[in-house]
Structures are given as structure tokens and as C-alpha cells.
A = this chain, B = another copy of it.
């Protein structure tokens, strides 16, 4: 695909994001040099957290952009919506196997949201947008939860799961929205928003 002389930089260390961006058949480089500390002000509404994180990563890029460069940053979050008297909760990366099991029990038999915020920035323009996908898990048995944690060790995954792994094959009954967003990058929306930068 013709980038009209523009150079795209993906500022993310995630191999999944890299694969998904490759799926757009565009050339890009990966540069994760960043001074941003991953934190947001206390009390930030949770749907705003990925937006602040993505913009923070963009602003914290380790050097000024050249005029023909386009920087892409992103942040993905697994969110348990409020239900039955429980408040909403952001599920981060699990600390250990017990924490992962707690998260999977929380996700079992109900719907959650996966929200990704993406920031595209050049010296002329900045655009931040979010994509949300709803994801339904069937009721997971304790056997299924412990098999998954023991075998796939999902300690680097927000919410303690990856949809493209075993647990996504046996446990996810339905999604509404973009599948690739759940993997970690809403590439269709990126493609659409990128056009204004080319």
C-alpha cells in the first residue's frame, strides 16, 4: 500500500500488535524508546484510562518526529462492567497463578469489554480514538481454568487470557465488535484513521 513517502513508526513492543499492523500490508518500523511512566491520575473514569495511556505513550516518545513520520501508540484494557451490585473493574496483568485464576473466575459466564485506545500523531496532526468489543465467556470449570493457567501461563496478558489461545477456542461463545481489537489492535479503525495522515 502506498504511504506517499510517509514513514510509520509503531511504538509498541507487543508482537501481536506488530503482526496485526503487518496485516495492513504497510511498511513500518518498531521503536519502543519511551519516557512515559504507565500511570494515570487517581479517580480517572475507567473508560478514559486507555486514552490517557495511549496519549502518554505518544507524548513520551523518546525523540521529536521528522515531518514525514507518523507515530502510532496504543493501549488495551480488559474491563469488567458493573453488574449485580458490583462496581466496574479494570483487569490488568495477573501477579501470579492465583491472581490469574481469580480473574478468569470473574470473567467466567459473563460479558466483559475490551477497549483499545490508539493515538496517531505527526507534526501536523494528532488523532486519538477508541474501539470497544464486547466478549462473552461461557461458565469456565475449575479444570479448564487451571489447565489454561498451567499450560499457557498468561501472566503477561491483561485479564489473564488471550482470545487466540486455547481458552479463546473453548471458552469464548460470542463477541460483538472487532476481533482484532481483542487480540490487541483495532486495525480496521487504524486503517481508516491513518488515511488523513497520508
Contacts and interface: CB of A to CB of B under 8 A. Distances in A.
Contacts of A90: none
Nearest to A165: B23
How many of these chains are in the complex?
2
A20 B138 CA distance: 18
Interface string A19-35: 01001110000000000
Contacts of A109: none
Interface stretch (A80-88, A153-161, A167-175): A167-175
A46 interface: no
Interface string A187-198: 110011000000
A20 B172 CA distance: 14
Candidate in A163, A165, A172 with the most chain B CB atoms within 10 angstroms:
A172
Nearest to A179: B179
Interface size band for A: 20 to 34
A92 interface: no
A129 interface: no
A191 B177 contact: no
B138 A169 contact: no
Given A179-B175, A179-B179, A138 B170 contact: no
Contact of A24 (B25, B169, B175): B169
13 contacts: A23-B166, A23-B168, A23-B169, A24-B170, A25-B151, A163-B179, A169-B187, A169-B188, A169-B191, A170-B188, A172-B188, A175-B177, A176-B176
